[in-house]
Structure 1
Amino acid sequence: MQAKTPKFNVVIVGHNNRLQYEALLFAASLRHSSPDFAGRLFVASPNSGPRWTQNPGLQDEDVLKALKQLDAKVLPFDNHVFGESYPNGNKIEALFALPEGEPFVFFDSDTLITGTLNSVAFDFDRPSASLKVEGTWPRPTLYGPGFDGIWGALYRQFGLDFDSSLDRSQPHDYWRRYLYFNAGFFYYRCPKEFGERYLEYARTIRDEDIPELAGQVLTPWLDQIALPLVIHSLGGGRDTLPQGLLDGSVSCHYRLFPLLYARESDHVVEVLETVVAPNKIKKVLKGYEPIRKLVIQRKGHKIRQMFDRDNLPQREQAIRNRIKSSGLWMR
């Protein structure tokens, strides 16, 4: 008999910018698609401080009210290491504000919940993250080292076993051979334990002189460079989560609304337009132009008609260019 998945918390990040609208949309989709979710939903919001030139936290009263109505708890946190110089670091530092010792799932704010989260058999002792990823890092230079040399140096830096992380069904020096995730979601049994490891690894990669990283661009990839090392060090990996649920029937990391209308399934579009429809949600979300024009005014369907979901261009840039040529690109 399969063990029951323990109750867990969900956390996303909310800023005083487009992320506040994405956070509200995430919360509405969670309550719509997973009404039996028994954990807590936290919207982590960075506090004003020396690492920001302006207050980055959630301040819009309408957004805050709507989040409260959806039983989402705003969770303030401080930036001690990252901040305006690297906002992606918020997903790391926010973990320290979560209840210690309680399992969590982090999602990027530009995600919709499209099915019941309780159907996902998380093993919180064996962390993992999104495999909906492209080979964005590293980019080996002409004179080396290659993928093997770069990733191997990082595993040695943290005293980790490199060989056991490899997918030997993939060719040597091909990016899929090496453990690499999109940081659009990740999970573990304790946010403090995960956060401490994540912060240590990310800061070390950023600050230490690691010769094999010479010539490599770390921004904006730092969170995705450190993440596989953290997951491997905590006993997780690429095959610890059932396929087809997250980044599948249960969640959609859409990233930008024009891309959602171009690429995603009819069900994703239906969820999006259903959760935006109630007046108490719509009146807040219409303050964000892409939602107002593409979703509420239904101009996204013009984008949808431009593409065959069964035969999409292989490169995302080609999708973007076609949408831009129609005058419907917005972010």
Structure 2
Amino acid sequence: MDTAQEQASRQPFNIMVIGQAGRLQYEAVLFAASLRHGSAGFPGRLFVATPQPGPAWDRDPSIQSAEVLDVLNDLGAEILPFANHAFGQSYPYGNKIEALLALPENEPFVFFDTDTLLTGDIMSVPFDFRKPGASLRREGTWPKPTLYGPGYAAIWKSLYDRFGLDFETSLDPDQPDEFWGRYLYFNAGFFFGACPRRFGERYLEYALSIRDSPPAELDCQSLDPWLDQITLPLVIHSFGGGRDALPDGLLDGSISCHYRLFPLLYARESDHVIEVLHAIAAPNRIKKVLKSHEPIKRMVYQGRGAKVRALFDRDNLPRREQAIRNRIKSAGLWMR
């Protein structure tokens, strides 16, 4: 007999990425192509959520390229327009929050940052949408406690208290006090849940409360660009999720790669990721569109990526990302 988790993992779900004019529209094409390449049996819907012009934007952020829209349609992606009421030009990371409100209600969802490739079958991931989770591929980027305090515990507890959440059950008891990893913190590169409307409404409520009226403990802390990642663990904890929502090694592992920038992809990702990238970028209908984006044109199609890759030993990479960036820049190969 199937376990409840095995049944939940086979539950159909939708996927959402953000697409808009500029870099993200080309990354959306690659994401959609990678989904079709590695997950031919995916039964859900792929939404490319696109912000619409309005007072929150200085210029039209929507995808206007007919060629890009045609390729996305050919790859089975659905364009999902949404409006920005709370964020927009001033904080584009808020797109992932407001776009959730446009997804079909009561249908499980997985959000991915657009600069992600699916490198395996997404249906092999045992999602239990009753217990949401998010990416643990992160560093201790927030908060940055000051010399005279408050410390990690006081800062995070002030946020849990703000929303009536149990702080103690969010802690990792295997980590020491005042070490950033003891406190629930995610990279917002992917997250999932049972209903995008409920998740999005709570995400928006919490984010606006923190932005507009932060607790006193946050006085010396920067909220930009960290607001989405500050809020995400609170939302996930409020729905009964946490850091153990998925087995290790699948998302941000064998099934997905959050590459962020193409020079970093070539510098540090596996041979398999490179093989997937080149396979999905090869068809002429996709190549014609992607060559309009200079970093993809030069990195993927003109061989600059191979030159970046030759600078590094994947088994002995510099520990700090800045060192990787500096080496690529010194070689005159950096692009973003």
Question: Is 2:308 the partner of 1:286?
Answer: no
The alpha carbon displacement at 1:259 in A equals 0.2
Query: Cα deviations across residues 222-251 of structure 1 (Å, max 9, x unaligned)?
Result: 000000000000000000111111000100
1:161 and 2:158 equivalent? no
Matches within 5 A, 1:196-275: 196-275=201-280
Query: Which residue is equivalent to 1:67?
Result: 72
Q: What is the letter of the counterpart of residue 89 of structure 2?
A: E
Instruction: Report the Cα offset of residue 206 of structure 1.
Output: 0.3
CA distance in structure 1 between the partners assigned to 2:68 and 2:333 by the alignment: 26
Query: How much does 1:306 deviate?
Result: 0.7
Structure 2 unaligned segments of length 5 or more: list them: none
1:20 aligns with 2:25: yes
2:48 to 43, 49, 71: 43
Query: 1:141 is matched with which residue?
Result: 146
Matched, 1:114 2:119: yes
Given residue 200 of structure 1, which amino acid in structure 2 is its aligned partner?
E
Alignment equivalent of 1:32, drawn from 37, 52, 55: 37
Distance 1:36 1:309 in 2: 32
Aligned equivalents of 2:126 and 2:117: distance in 1? 19
User: How far apart are the structure 1 equivalents of 2:20 and 2:141?
Assistant: 25
Aligned-partner Cα distance in 1 for 2:298–2:57 = 31
Q: 1:209 Cα deviation (Å)?
A: 3.9
Which residue number corresponds to residue 335 of structure 2?
330
For residues 122-137 of structure 1, the aligned pairs below 5 Å read: 122-137=127-142
TM-score, scaled relative to structure 2: 0.98
Q: Which residue is 2:83 aligned to?
A: 78
SS at match of 1:74: strand
User: Who is 1:311 aligned against?
Assistant: 316
Deviation (angstroms), 1:143 = 1.4
Residue in structure 1 matched with residue 190 of structure 2 by the alignment: 185
| Aligned equivalents of 1:53, 1:294: Cα separation in 2 | 30
For 1:144-193, what per-residue CA distance to the aligned partner results, in whole angstroms no more than 9, with x for missing partners?
10001100100001000000000011111000000000000000010000
- Cα distance, 1:210 vs structure 2: 1.1
SS at match of 2:289: helix
Q: Secondary structure at the match of 2:49?
A: strand
For residue 266 of structure 2, give the secondary structure of its aligned residue in structure 1: helix
- Structure 2 residue matching 1:45: 3-state secondary structure: strand
CA distance in 1, matches of 2:19, 2:267: 25
Give SS of 2:101's match: helix
Counterparts of 1:302 and 1:113, CA distance in 2? 24
Does 294-303 or 115-124 show the bigger shift?
A: 294-303
SS in 2 for 1:225: helix
The alignment covers a number of residue pairs equal to 331
Once the two structures are TM-superposed, the CA of residue 298 in structure 1 deviates from its matched residue by 1.9
Identical counterparts, % of pairs: 66
Taking the aligned partners of 1:195 and 1:29, their CA distance within structure 2 comes to 26
What is the match of residue 156 of structure 2? 151
Cα distance in 2 between the residues matched to 1:248 and 1:35: 19
